[in-house]
Structure 1
Amino acid sequence: MSGPIISEPTTKSESKRITIDPITRLEGHGKIEIFLNDEGNVANAYWQVPELRGFEKFCIGRSVDELNKITPRLCGVCPGAHHLCSTKALDGVFQAEPPEAGRKLRELFYAAHYIHSHIAHFYALAAADFVLGPAAPAEKRNILGVVDAVGVNIGSEVIKHRSYAQKVQEMLGGKATHPVCGIPGGMSKPINEDERKQIEEWAKSCVEFSKFTMGLLGDVVLKNEAYLDLIKDPGIYYNETYYMGLVDKNNKINFYDGDLRVVDQKGKEVEKFHPSKYLDHIGEHVEPWTYEKFCFLKKIGWNGFTDGPQSGIYRCAPLARVNASTGFTTPEAQKGYEQLKDFFKGLGVEGPIHHTMIYHWARVIELMHASEWLLELSQDPMITSKDIKSPTKTPGEGIGCLEAPRGVLIHHYVADENGITTDVNLVVGTTNNNAPINLSVRQAAKGLIKNWQVSPGILNEVEMAYRAYDPCNSCATHTLPGQMPLKAVIRKPNGEIFQEIQNF
């Protein structure tokens, strides 16, 4: 981690500015700007994303059936999510619903993707803050530092089980990182019995490893009183927002399909809709200082960077899925869900859990669910069926939606009758969480930085606010105002501003 760049004020009345650039242990690039007032307390803080990918624009004009090979290149960490969501959108474009065996084969692939992604975040990106402590030296806050602290044996188990998940993705997806298995109306190839047995063996091991990880969370985090005090402090990692998640007909979490359910700060359902209606419910706000859009609930409206019932800001990803649902469909994950709820009931919290750091706990429970899901599907007799494709029709418009590890993911394509893409819209997990990440960074900065007291450890605790969301800025930066925002300041020889020119 590079040290923070700190700019001193040129006058006594000018606010002090702290820049954390680059921010660390996330996918993509970004920085944090913190502004202090004359008392040395935080006046404001921003999570700023200065990179632009532009995938929505350069997909236009391409053959629409190429998009599920192009969009996974958004990110090397979550290509499986983009590939399947894109493929689901192509199902709609070509009016081709996959047969049951084809859908289950996609879900088998996706369960492995979740295992691979959640292991990577919990152990490689987040664990340094738990295991080593927020104020540990920067050179130690990484996966090697974690392995050194917990032991090589545990480190090898982490690598082994992430490898198992990656091998399943390679087996089904054709490639380990950027899959090519999905086609409109199904999957490109089945698996045989030997492959099924191998996946089942790996899945059983992943279930046991997930149990170990849940135990590790309990031993390292939940028994650390100092860390728990930091997590539970309502002045640091806490925001009362709406929550959105994909659920089945019983309001249980479903990573692959279902309706989008929104609950308020008290847990009351305020909206439930099919993803094909997302434009009626989700709005996208833009600001000139970042290349990521800000999602909000149209029913409430955009009311700035604030939380509470009057704010249309909502959260997605693991904690949001827990809050927007009634739990999981697999037994061990449901036990974990009930333990989490019971823990907070003991603290007097009956409804949604608003404590941002609990994203990590929810993520570990989801790792358990994904492992059980992988095992369940690998034992399904239908999983080796060769009936995995449906015929396609004349292309048109399609919307795909699933729960990416980082939150609700939507791909929306429009094609002409020749199959050429004419319009693309992507709403990704980190776009949904962009506004709440700003809220969380600001809340943490205000709660931690007091009376000019700033240290590398405190700044890492500010970074922990965004790290809880497991953000992916590579995925989330698209077309902000539709052009590169530029500002030019022309000064006279004496330094006085002559003219300011900007295109936003």
Structure 2
Amino acid sequence: KSLDFALFTYKIFKDIVLSNEEYLDLILSDAYTHRTYYMGLVDDKNRTNFYDGKIRIVDPKGNEYAKFDVHEYEKYIAEHVEPWTFVKFPYLKKVGWKGFVDGEDSGILCVAPLARLNVADSMATPKAQEAFEEMFETIGSKPVHHTLAMHWARIIEMIYAAERMKELANDPELTDPNVRVTPTETPSVGISAVEAPRGLLIHHYETDENGIIKKANLLVATQHNAARIALSVDKAARNLIRGGKVDDGLLNMVEMAFRAYDPCHACATHSIPGSMPLAIYLYNLKGELIEIIKRE
């Protein structure tokens, strides 16, 4: 049933979205396009994997930049801090932080469904592989840099997840009584990674001799995407505002730019209470504030 629903969803997407030139043009428009690095988990055949494997990064041209075990993440990823937000901005250490710009010379990277497909050479299940090939053939390039294609990638991953669930349900290890490994020593460092729906999570913990956590570092999906989200909001606003006219329609179009990432700022700031206020401040060429549009 899950696979039927996933394939049904994909059919609706193709019938309603891909068959509509206006929608397809919106997906491919420059207003929602950023050429960045991409990061995600892959298995030993460079196929998408949600739970295990190595972290793979490709550059804006699709070339493999790095492939490493999560325990080595600090060799590749650093975090930039800005005074106006609690969210830290991960970037590629060797490329460096060049500010809020995209391109091969910028260390900004992206995770989430589209990134996972961009770093993978293929999918591990047949129906998902068909949809994977169809997406890249339709768009005509790999990696895909169009932010709104994130939803397309989500549907492909839905198909993969449904097929994979069926495989796991028939795996004899599912009923294996050996479900727990008893610790034989006190750990001092624990580092792991897993793919959440919105992108790669990296957790790093260090403990004392009593197993009490003395250091913790969490790199969550919205952090990885934070710099690209900032680029997306800025570019959408610059491309869509015409003649100084702003309305609720513009607010919706700008919101589309960051909603595609499925952001969780409570996660990214490590703060429990979350809300979604949205405000656009419109300035003229003299730098004078002329209008504010808010959504509480």
Q: TM-score, normalised by structure 2?
A: 0.89
Which residue matches 2:261? Answer: 469
**Structure 1 residue 270, shift from structure 2 partner:** 1.1
2:278 alignment counterpart: none
Q: Which residue of 433, 448, 453 maps to 2:245?
A: 453
**Does 1:304 pair with 2:106?**
no
Alignment of 1:180-199 (within 5 A): none
Distance 1:319 1:340 in 2: 11
Q: Which residue of 1 aligns with 2:175?
A: 384
Other-structure match for 1:408: 200
The secondary structure found in structure 1 opposite 2:91 is: strand
Q: Is the 8 A contact 1:413 1:424 kept in 2?
A: yes
The aligned runs of 1:126-137 (5 Å cut-off) are none
Q: What is the CA–CA distance in structure 2 between the aligned matches of 1:265 and 1:290, rounded to whole Å?
A: 27
Question: Percent identity among equivalent residues?
Answer: 51
Taking only aligned residues, the RMSD between alpha carbons, in angstroms, comes to 1.1
Q: Show the counterpart of 1:229.
A: 25
Counterpart CA distance in 2 for 1:223 and 1:290 is 41
Which residue identity is paired with 2:221? G
**1:344 shift after superposition:** 1.4
Map 1:5-154; keep pairs closer than 5 Å.
none
Superposition map of 1:344-423 within 5 A: 344-345=139-140, 349=141, 351-392=142-183, 393-423=185-215
Shift of 1:327: 2.0
Question: In the alignment, is residue 217 of structure 1 matched against residue 8 of structure 2?
Answer: no
Structure 2 counterpart of 1:404, one-letter code: A
Aligned to 2:2: 206
Q: Give the structure 2 partner of residue 287 of structure 1.
A: 82
Match of 2:293 in 1: none
Partner of 1:4: none
Secondary structure at the residue paired with 1:399? strand
Query: 1:278: which partner in 2?
Result: 73
Instruction: Tell me: higher relative CO, structure 1 or 2? Use CA pairs within 8 A at least 6 residues apart.
Output: 1
Deviations 1:400-441 (A, max 9, x none): 101111111011111111111110000001100000000111
Between the aligned partners of 2:181 and 2:26, the Cα distance in structure 1 is 52
Which residue of 1 is the match for residue 276 of structure 2? none
- Find the counterpart in structure 1 of residue 108 from structure 2: 313
Aligned equivalents of 1:419 and 1:389: distance in 2? 19
Superposition deviation, residue 399 in structure 1: 0.2
CA distance in 1, matches of 2:46, 2:143: 15
1:449-482 deviation line (CA, Å, top 9, x unaligned): 1211212111100000001111111211139xxx
Shift of 1:396: 1.1
What is the one-letter code of the residue matched to 2:224? N
- Gaps of at least 5 residues in structure 1 are 1-204, 480-504
Kept in 2: contact 1:297–1:313 (CA 8 A)? yes
Q: Which SS does the other structure have where 1:244 is aligned?
A: strand
- Partner Cα distance (1:471, 1:244) in 2: 16
Quote the Cα distance in structure 2 between the aligned partners of 1:209 and 1:225: 25
For residue 186 of structure 2, what is the amino acid of its counterpart? T
TM-score (norm 1): 0.53
Is contact 1:395-1:418 (8 Å) kept?
no
Q: Measure the CA separation in 2 of the matches of 1:343 and 1:227.
A: 14
For residues 265 and 420 of structure 1, the distance between their equivalents in structure 2, rounded to whole angstroms, comes to 41
SS of match in other structure, 2:168: helix
Q: Deviations over 1:66-124 (max 9, x none)?
A: xxxxxxxxxxxxxxxxxxxxxxxxxxxxxxxxxxxxxxxxxxxxxxxxxxxxxxxxxxx
The alignment partner of 1:221 has SS state of helix
The structure that has the greater radius of gyration is 1
- Which residue of structure 2 aligns with residue 326 of structure 1? 121
Distance in 2 between the 1:206 and 1:449 partners?
A: 41
Which amino acid counterpart does residue 335 of structure 1 have in structure 2?
Answer: E
Distance (whole Å) between structure 2 residues aligned to residue 284 and residue 237 of structure 1: 25
Give, as a single letter, the amino acid of the residue that structure 2 aligns with 1:414. Answer: E
**Contact 1:437/1:465, CA 8 A, preserved across alignment:** yes
The one-character-per-residue Cα deviations of 1:175-210 (angstroms, maximum 9, x if unpaired) are xxxxxxxxxxxxxxxxxxxxxxxxxxxxxx111100
- The 2-side partners of 1:260 and 1:429 are apart by 14
Q: Which amino acid aligns with 1:435?
A: A
Per-residue deviation, residues 127-177 of structure 1 (Å, max 9, x unmatched): xxxxxxxxxxxxxxxxxxxxxxxxxxxxxxxxxxxxxxxxxxxxxxxxxxx
Counterpart secondary structure, 1:383: helix
- Counterpart of 1:73 in structure 2 is none
Q: Deviations over 1:339-358 (max 9, x none)?
A: 1011012xxx3x31111100
8 Å contact from structure 1 (residues 246, 259) kept in 2:
yes
Kindly tell me the number of residue pairs found equivalent between the two proteins.
Answer: 270
Correspondences of 1:244-259 after superposition (within 5 Å): 244-259=39-54
* One-letter identity of the residue aligned with 2:45: N
Most deviating of 425-434 and 391-400: 391-400
Separation in 1, partners of 2:105, 2:238:
22
Alignment partner of 1:474: what SS?
A: helix
Give the aligned residue type for 1:361: W
Structure-2 residue corresponding to 1:94: none
